[in-house]
Structure 1
Amino acid sequence: MATRTAPTSANDPLPSRTASGPRLLERVRSANPTLRRGLGLAAIVFVFALVVATLRRFAGDISYDEVVAALLATSWWTVGLAVVLAACSYASLVLYDVFALRYVGRPQPLSATAFVSFCAYAVGNTAGFGPLSGGAIRYRFYSRLGLSPEAIAAVIGFVTVAFGTGLAVAAFTASAISSEAIGPILHLPPDLLRWGAIAAIAAIVGGYLVLLRRTRSGAGGWLRAPSPAIAGGQLLATILDLFFSALVLYVLLPAGKPDLPVFLAIYTIAVASGVLSHVPAGLGVFETIILAAMPEAVPSQEVLSALLLYRLAYHVLPLIAAALLVSGAEARRVVASPIARQTADAAARIAPLVLSALTLIAGAMLIFSSVTPAPTGDLDFLGSTVALPLGLVEAAHFASGILGIILVVGSRGLAQRLDGAWWASVAAASLAAALCFLKAVAVFEAAFLALLLVALIPLRGRFDRPASLFREALSAPWLFAVAIILLSAGALLFFAYEDVEYSHGLWTDFAFGAEAPRSLRAFLGVCVVAGAVALWSLLRTALDTVAAPSAEELAQAVAILNRQPLADANLVRSGDKALLFSESRDAFLMYARQGRSFVSLFGPIGAPASAAELVWRFAEMAREGGGRAAFYQIHPEVLPLCADAGLRAIKLGEAAIIPLKNFELKGAKRSGLRQTVNRGERDGLRFEVVPVEAVPSVFDDLRRISDGWLESKSAREKRFSVGWFDRDYILSQPVALVRLEGRIVAFANILVTGTKLQSAIDLMRFAPDAPRSTMEFLLLSLMLHLRDEGYETFDLGMAPLSGLSNSPAAPLWNRVGGLVFDHAERFYNFRGLRAFKSKFDPDWRPRYLAVSGGLPPALALADISQLIAGGLTGVVSK
């Protein structure tokens, strides 16, 4: 029996080739995952560029000055009403999380639910990629409130599917009601649109009823339908959300706009198109559809100004509010209510993500400001009244765009809680706020940057990761975000100065009134800096290998593991894993690399105070090496640390932990175990423990048994999460023996630490002619011996895929794992292993895999399988 269990994996077949060779789609599908992801992001950038070009066609007869004039003409009363309606929309969004938590059976206090929902949607609506950005906030927050990773994944999945379904129902309903008005806009016959929408609604409702029936009959498979009450409540929440958010834009639009029912249909179609485009916040896609759907009599410049104010009221202001709320979490920590303290602590955990999004918006604002003209009166004031030198104005304008790029890059570091990112962001925001008064009297820009500083400064302690920004490589999504910002800035530059004829002399034209040359130079500077950052990220040398530990490092690791409780940490003695020590050298990680996966076994080992530091450093190291971080077989206590580092977790199975304090073989419940020991003794089996210093005297006998066991099983040695028969490894620990007539017939190396809180075994091997009860005899005898020695628990190892939730809210991984656990006996005896360990009446404790990035965890599991098996050959053979 192997007490440390490796995951089972299968080999994917190679892509097939047709007689005429693979087609383009087949090549893309068989491409490297990183290449496929890059192609996907490039496609989104292309779609965004195409949308910008289309938007320019619709706004071709509009000038920048006309849009600014329309903005200034909007009454404050109208803007205030839009803000109130946006607040109503966000209040309805809280219902998404309320019903999702009921769906998974883990309702939370309304205050905590409202807080996380508001923050998640404030970031998700603005930064885009809602399931990822908003989902990361939910994971960090709800994990601190005690929800399991499975429950959090179900919540994220529920709100994502519920929004998509509700949006589809709302769009089809509005289209059916207003088909006469919507049909010409979509170039569809009204009757076809009406009946098509009705058919789609009927299909959605019918699908739900079928799924509900299958759920109630227990035949729902992987999908479980929510109850009618939850489904109806969620649909109502979606309708309220869309209604109020549509009203935000509706009240800002000028006279001549469509009637409200028609506009609701247009709005839902625009929102759905923005979501499907995968462009962050549907930027450009949403605006293009709204512009195209407006009647010709409605002034386009007033529609554009309404859209800008809509983005401000519905996206930017909620993000500012979320940032100010989380920055106040530290002050609320002193309140007496335990729930309030718990919420404040969880809020502080999500603060880096919220502040990261706000910093990204601030950086984009500075870049956009640098490519657009300043009000003429402000420049006249600086030049005539203040008599500011022209060179200072030019430098302030140019530097403002560069500081914007610094904030955009720093926002990624803020999401990772890097102290260098905090200092860079604070310095850049402070300097940019001062320059706002030198490049032009930009009061609103300065106020926004001041709010950013107010949010950043109180949370200095949350950015405690000592890492340099220059060691960070920007990920593809962040490079994509920079590309979107630059494309937007370029489009805005040409829109603002479309009446200015280009000439080479523009680059050297310096004057207070020379707005176009100033903006052109600023845009060039922004592009050069952004390009340098992108090249630095793309051309960085990846870390190809990891160094084996030196004898001194192994000695330090052994000294640390002897002061902590985890017995399995003794696997560091095998020497096949690299080591990462904490700054204080009181904790370490052991890890290996396979493919793109940097895999840490068991997570941080040693002082708990250093655990967070090690998780972050390991995640950063994997990222710098061009790979993904994975923490294999970690305990639930490590999950919040992994969540803080942006990793997501899945349950691998459960470990069987035997409490030894009251372990005995008396009583009817243990009669079978008692008979096993008695039978072994009658057969002549004798148990003994050989101390470390005496192991060399029996080493040759142990090797004979090990070689015979491997040969009889047609097996090969495993690695990584299990030890192997290596002389130095075997001689480093005590060994339990079973003798038959004085001859050693079985052994197991014992894993213990100085704390005596936990004990375990690793290799357990026996001679082919040993009695059948030898294995259980050894285990029971060893547990009784360790109990008498004062050890508190004994770890029997993990039962893979056991204990995965089968509730209606269980995520897809649990469904797949449950099917494998129940029906894969041909390949691995999952149920048998669980049943064997259950005989010892253990406490079953969950074990998890946490993986960084957005790729499926199966990729990391495949790499881990190769690590354990010693390569791909070992995966497909014993």
Structure 2
Amino acid sequence: MTSESPSANEPSGGSARQFLLTYRVYITAASVILVFGLMALAIYHLSAEVRYADVIAALEGTPWSALALAVFFTALSFASLIFYDVNALEYIGRKASFASVAVSAFMAYAVGNTVGFGPLSGGAIRFRAYSRLWLTPGEIARVIAFVTLSFGLGLLLVSALSTLAVAPQVSHTIGVGPFWLRAGALAVIALMAAVFFIGRNGRTLQFNGFTLRLPDSRTASRQFLVTAFDIAASASVLYVLLPQTHVSWPVFLAIYATAVAIGVLSHVPAGLGVFEAIMMAGLSNAISLDQLLGSLVLYRLVYYVLPLLLAVVVMLVTETRQLAARPGVAEVGQIAARLSPALISTFALLLGAMLIFSSVVPTPDADLDFLEGLLPLPLVEAAHFLSSLLGLGLLVTSRGLAQRLDGAWWVALLCACAAFVMAFLKAIAVFEAGLLGLFIVALVFNVRSFDRHASLFRQALGPSWLAAIAVIIVAAFVILLFIYRDTEYTHQLWWQFEFSEEAPRGLRALLGLSIGASAVAIFSLLRPVARRPQPSEMVDIVRAIDVVRQQDVADANLVRMGDKHVMFSHSGSAFIMYGIHGRSWIALGDPIGAKEDFAELVWQFVEAARAGGGRAAFYQISPSVLSYCADAGLRAFKLGEIATVDLVHFELKGSKLAGLRQSYNRGARDGLVFSLVDTFEVPTVIDELQAVSDAWLAHHNTREKRFSLGAFDRSYVMSQPVAVVRKDGDIVAFATLMLTDTMAEATVDLMRFAAQAPNGTMDFLFVSILEHLRDAGYRSFNLGMAPLSGMARRDAAPVWDRVGGALFEHGERYYNFKGLRAFKSKFHPRWEPRYLAVSNGTGAALALMDATFLISGGVKGVLGK
């Protein structure tokens, strides 16, 4: 009897996990559509006795005083939201002008509340805004974490407290026993009280070596008050829009907080449909559904659409020259200009949804009568149908606007102008035309922000965008069913063309939308994946070397190894060198060359990686590139610090470098002699260098590294000068130099020494190199990066920094982290952070793993040193 290995029989854990990891984005998108579809179906059945005319009557019957109060409470809610960010900045110990924080937070919430999904999330907005205020990526991550956690915990506690206070009334409204409601509320309150008590005076908690500092009592209390005030104000927006009801405000608050929480957890954009379904289920016994639906529509307009429109207006106002010249407004204007693509993209998404919904909503009879006497029926029918397709066009274009594509700007402008005209031809829709007019003005005023010359039609929509479009199309379908639920369906409806027949017009518009959206989805999901690039040709390497010579970064000479792909900017004046392992496309360092090409080159690389089915990552980038990565939707994670020596002021005199001076003098007494072998002379000593290198590798039981380091390849070593140390005429140590013609910076790559080299030989070599380069006129020397060095040690530091700090402290067994920093510190360098930029936390871990494989030559290289 034979037996098979367990792995052969297991479809199991591993493959299931791999499947989920590989397709998690698509699974999440499909889940969002499914949840929304179920909620939409629930709303349709809950509103079985409600008619569209009743909802419109409820809308028209809302008094202006209620609308004014709703606007007032919206202003209070957004004012409190600003203090989330104010408290977060105080918590991390950073200060910024209140005006800048207020504008950044307001715009982040205006966008995040309206769309609520990844590509245009409030977190991305904050990264763009706060990087302008000189916050580091780690500090911005802590602000985002503080805001997210404080809102979530505050919402949970407010919901529990309100439920505990009015459990019998809530029980009567939603049909759950008061005992269970109180038990659940008490459990939540007890948990929050325990956290509050444990964290008093800023107490820290230890978890397996990780330190977490809880906010002190003052911070926690203040933030809870802000959250409670925010939720109370936002709940009041909807409450004042409701008709007279016996539902008390505390009961309503409990139901509202629950609906908001479930809407957030559903991940449906803006909780659309989910929030409405919970509110209808909770209040259907107390409020007539036609009036409730009318109030919910007004709530969406006042609390979601109005702040977005105000954010767009603020952006336009700060663009005017008279205001932009004032110092107080200039900083706010710079932030608004930086956020304008995201705001305009969100506005386009909103207008696209508006045009789609209006295509299935009947035109008022008075407007139809006016049009009938003025325009021929075919023109009205065509305007109605084309307007819905223009809405789909704005939805699709919104992604390109977020990416600052000039083609997306033109398409959006043409769609908006055409829709502006159609608004009058189809229904005399003045409000719709007004919003489109504001959008056109915003596009024209911000034309300079859309300067990327990338093809719009090559930008396939990702799962998140497709899910958002699907949610809007499904919502339009449900609205159509709701409005015409009393109209009996027949095939003849498709062919009825009359001014008074609205249902056929909506059906045809929805069919056109469905076909158009399906075509977009098929194009995005099923188009051929771009092939991975072939290794760069020698002609590309030569072009890259020509660029390297004319810029200031010495590390760029690693392109001479020829083991990396090279991507040039459209002008050819800059390039990125990168490697591919697994799904990770990993760019090494900053883009190289003309700085004016960097922003577009970052986008070019990110889009090429996505088109090839991979994740883009930038490895060991400087702070100057972080803003470009943030614009491309990447997050930054600190890797360590790079050490740079100022050669202009480098002197061995004085007590600061006494240790190096002693090592240098001891080396000279031991008979060590330094010399620089110019490039054309390296072939004469290449055999000696090879012997030293082979002996060094054997002695350290290691193999050559690549990607971020050079390997001993004879042609590579002979392409640059080599600094050597001789003893008794034999080479006992060497280092290959990397230089550029600008003489702004120099660095070393390969560093090898023989077993017979005296102690302190490498100190002697480095001091000699630095003095030689200083005398030759070089201005700085790059000592390279100390991995995991300089990671934040504060209790409130991001998880990534705390993990890195723990490895730095306790990882000496596996890598000489402290020793490497100690060696570089002897030269008293200037330390500058280096980052990994990638899409998210999981992507950062995977990209870092793939970078390790690239450097070590695969799994075998990692395991075998």
The runs of 4+ residues in structure 1 deviating greater than 6 Å are 16-20, 217-220
* Alignment CA distance shift 1:506-1:26 (3 Å): farther
* Alignment CA distance shift 1:764-1:130 (3 Å): closer
Q: Which residue of 1 aligns with 2:378?
A: 391
User: What's the secondary structure of 1:827's corresponding residue?
Assistant: coil
Pick one of 197, 213, 227 that aligns with 1:238: 227
Q: Structure 1 CA distance, aligned partners of 2:696 and 2:322?
A: 59
Deviations 1:553-600 (A, max 9, x none): 222222222221111011111112222222332222112222222211
Identical pairs, percent: 51
**Are the counterparts in 2 of residues 398 and 525 from structure 1 also a CA contact under 8 Å?**
yes
Q: Structure 2 CA distance, aligned partners of 1:354 and 1:114?
A: 16
Q: Structure 1 CA distance, aligned partners of 2:286 and 2:200?
A: 48
Q: Which residue of 1 aligns with 2:782?
A: 795
Q: Which residue of 2 aligns with 1:428?
A: 415
After TM superposition, give the deviation of residue 221 of structure 1 in Å: 3.5
**Are the counterparts in 2 of residues 546 and 593 from structure 1 also a CA contact under 8 Å?**
no
Q: Which residue of 1 aligns with 2:477?
A: 490
| 1:164-243 alignment, distance < 5 Å | 164-212=152-200, 215=203, 221-243=210-232
Q: Structure 2 CA distance, aligned partners of 1:642 and 1:296?
A: 51
**Are the counterparts in 1 of residues 173 and 285 from structure 2 also a CA contact under 8 Å?**
no
Q: Structure 2 CA distance, aligned partners of 1:854 and 1:404?
A: 35
Pick one of 36, 39, 45 that aligns with 2:33: 45
Deviations 1:190-236 (A, max 9, x none): 23422431332121121232144673588994422123222111111
After TM superposition, give the deviation of residue 457 of structure 1 in Å: 1.4
Q: Structure 2 CA distance, aligned partners of 1:429 and 1:163?
A: 36
- What one-letter code is carried by the residue in structure 2 that aligns with 1:515? E
Pick one of 523, 530, 550 that aligns with 2:510: 523
Deviations 1:305-346 (A, max 9, x none): 000000000001111111221233332686455453233212
Q: Structure 2 CA distance, aligned partners of 1:453 and 1:132?
A: 20
Q: Which residue of 1 aligns with 2:667?
A: 680
Pick one of 350, 362, 375 that aligns with 2:339: 350
Q: Structure 2 CA distance, aligned partners of 1:859 and 1:333?
A: 49
Greater displacement, 306-315 / 103-112: 103-112
- What one-letter code is carried by the residue in structure 2 that aligns with 1:86? T
Q: Structure 2 CA distance, aligned partners of 1:377 and 1:441?
A: 10
Pick one of 92, 100, 122 that aligns with 2:88: 100
After TM superposition, give the deviation of residue 18 of structure 1 in Å: 9.4
Q: Is 2:640 aligned against 1:660? A: no
Q: Which residue of 2 aligns with 1:4?
A: none
* Alignment CA distance shift 1:314-1:506 (3 Å): same
**Are the counterparts in 2 of residues 333 and 340 from structure 1 also a CA contact under 8 Å?**
no
Pick one of 38, 58, 63 that aligns with 1:70: 58
- What one-letter code is carried by the residue in structure 1 that aligns with 2:250? P
**Are the counterparts in 2 of residues 691 and 735 from structure 1 also a CA contact under 8 Å?**
yes
Q: Structure 1 CA distance, aligned partners of 2:473 and 2:55?
A: 21
Q: Structure 2 CA distance, aligned partners of 1:674 and 1:218?
A: 44
- What one-letter code is carried by the residue in structure 1 that aligns with 2:654? G
Q: Is 2:295 aligned against 1:314? A: no
* Alignment CA distance shift 1:483-1:855 (3 Å): farther
| 1:808-847 alignment, distance < 5 Å | 808-847=795-834
* Alignment CA distance shift 1:613-1:641 (3 Å): same
Q: Structure 1 CA distance, aligned partners of 2:369 and 2:394?
A: 29
After TM superposition, give the deviation of residue 782 of structure 1 in Å: 0.8
* Alignment CA distance shift 1:177-1:17 (3 Å): farther
Deviations 1:274-332 (A, max 9, x none): 11222121111111121122253522101000000000000011111112212333326
Q: Which residue of 2 aligns with 1:758?
A: 745
* Alignment CA distance shift 1:52-1:229 (3 Å): same
User: What's the secondary structure of 1:492's corresponding residue?
Assistant: helix
* Alignment CA distance shift 1:295-1:703 (3 Å): closer
Gaps of 5+ in 2: none
- What one-letter code is carried by the residue in structure 2 that aligns with 1:51? M
Q: Which residue of 2 aligns with 1:591?
A: 578
Q: Structure 1 CA distance, aligned partners of 2:119 and 2:604?
A: 26
Q: Structure 1 CA distance, aligned partners of 2:791 and 2:120?
A: 24
Deviations 1:676-726 (A, max 9, x none): 112222222111001111111111211222222222222222111111112
After TM superposition, give the deviation of residue 121 of structure 1 in Å: 0.5
Pick one of 283, 286, 292 that aligns with 2:281: 292
Q: Structure 2 CA distance, aligned partners of 1:849 and 1:434?
A: 48
Q: Structure 1 CA distance, aligned partners of 2:36 and 2:529?
A: 31
Deviations 1:81-108 (A, max 9, x none): 2112111111111110010000111121
User: What's the secondary structure of 1:406's corresponding residue?
Assistant: helix
* Alignment CA distance shift 1:578-1:130 (3 Å): closer
- What one-letter code is carried by the residue in structure 1 that aligns with 2:58? A
- What one-letter code is carried by the residue in structure 2 that aligns with 1:714? N
* Alignment CA distance shift 1:610-1:333 (3 Å): farther
Q: Is 2:606 aligned against 1:619? A: yes
User: What's the secondary structure of 1:837's corresponding residue?
Assistant: helix
| 1:459-608 alignment, distance < 5 Å | 459-608=446-595
User: What's the secondary structure of 1:765's corresponding residue?
Assistant: strand
Pick one of 93, 99, 115 that aligns with 1:111: 99
**Are the counterparts in 2 of residues 349 and 644 from structure 1 also a CA contact under 8 Å?**
no
**Are the counterparts in 1 of residues 242 and 292 from structure 2 also a CA contact under 8 Å?**
yes
Greater displacement, 448-457 / 328-337: 328-337
Q: Structure 2 CA distance, aligned partners of 1:446 and 1:660?
A: 64
Q: Is 2:635 aligned against 1:648? A: yes
Greater displacement, 65-74 / 778-787: 65-74
Q: Which residue of 1 aligns with 2:293?
A: 304
**Are the counterparts in 2 of residues 28 and 36 from structure 1 also a CA contact under 8 Å?**
no
Q: Which residue of 1 aligns with 2:136?
A: 148
Q: Structure 2 CA distance, aligned partners of 1:256 and 1:173?
A: 22
User: What's the secondary structure of 2:705's corresponding residue?
Assistant: coil
User: What's the secondary structure of 2:579's corresponding residue?
Assistant: strand
* Alignment CA distance shift 1:29-1:552 (3 Å): closer
Q: Which residue of 1 aligns with 2:371?
A: 382
**Are the counterparts in 1 of residues 111 and 120 from structure 2 also a CA contact under 8 Å?**
no
Gaps of 5+ in 1: 1-15
Q: Structure 2 CA distance, aligned partners of 1:730 and 1:414?
A: 46
Q: Structure 1 CA distance, aligned partners of 2:108 and 2:321?
A: 20
Pick one of 763, 766, 771 that aligns with 2:758: 771
- What one-letter code is carried by the residue in structure 1 that aligns with 2:403? Q
**Are the counterparts in 1 of residues 602 and 632 from structure 2 also a CA contact under 8 Å?**
yes
User: What's the secondary structure of 2:320's corresponding residue?
Assistant: helix
Q: Is 2:841 aligned against 1:877? A: no
Q: Structure 2 CA distance, aligned partners of 1:850 and 1:352?
A: 21
Q: Structure 1 CA distance, aligned partners of 2:246 and 2:819?
A: 68
What is the number of equivalent residue pairs in this alignment?
860
Pick one of 696, 699, 703 that aligns with 1:712: 699
TM-score by length of 2: 0.96
**Are the counterparts in 2 of residues 94 and 117 from structure 1 also a CA contact under 8 Å?**
yes
After TM superposition, give the deviation of residue 485 of structure 1 in Å: 1.0
* Alignment CA distance shift 1:715-1:790 (3 Å): same
After TM superposition, give the deviation of residue 27 of structure 1 in Å: 5.2
Q: Structure 1 CA distance, aligned partners of 2:54 and 2:310?
A: 30
Computed over aligned residues only, the root mean square deviation of the Cα atoms, in angstroms, reads: 2.0
Q: Which residue of 2 aligns with 1:11?
A: none
Greater displacement, 777-786 / 223-232: 223-232
**Are the counterparts in 2 of residues 647 and 853 from structure 1 also a CA contact under 8 Å?**
yes
Greater displacement, 353-362 / 373-382: 373-382
Pick one of 252, 255, 262 that aligns with 1:263: 252
Q: Structure 1 CA distance, aligned partners of 2:658 and 2:667?
A: 14
Q: Structure 1 CA distance, aligned partners of 2:404 and 2:723?
A: 47
Q: Structure 2 CA distance, aligned partners of 1:629 and 1:191?
A: 52
Q: Is 2:24 aligned against 1:29? A: no
Q: Is 2:146 aligned against 1:158? A: yes
Q: Which residue of 2 aligns with 1:693?
A: 680
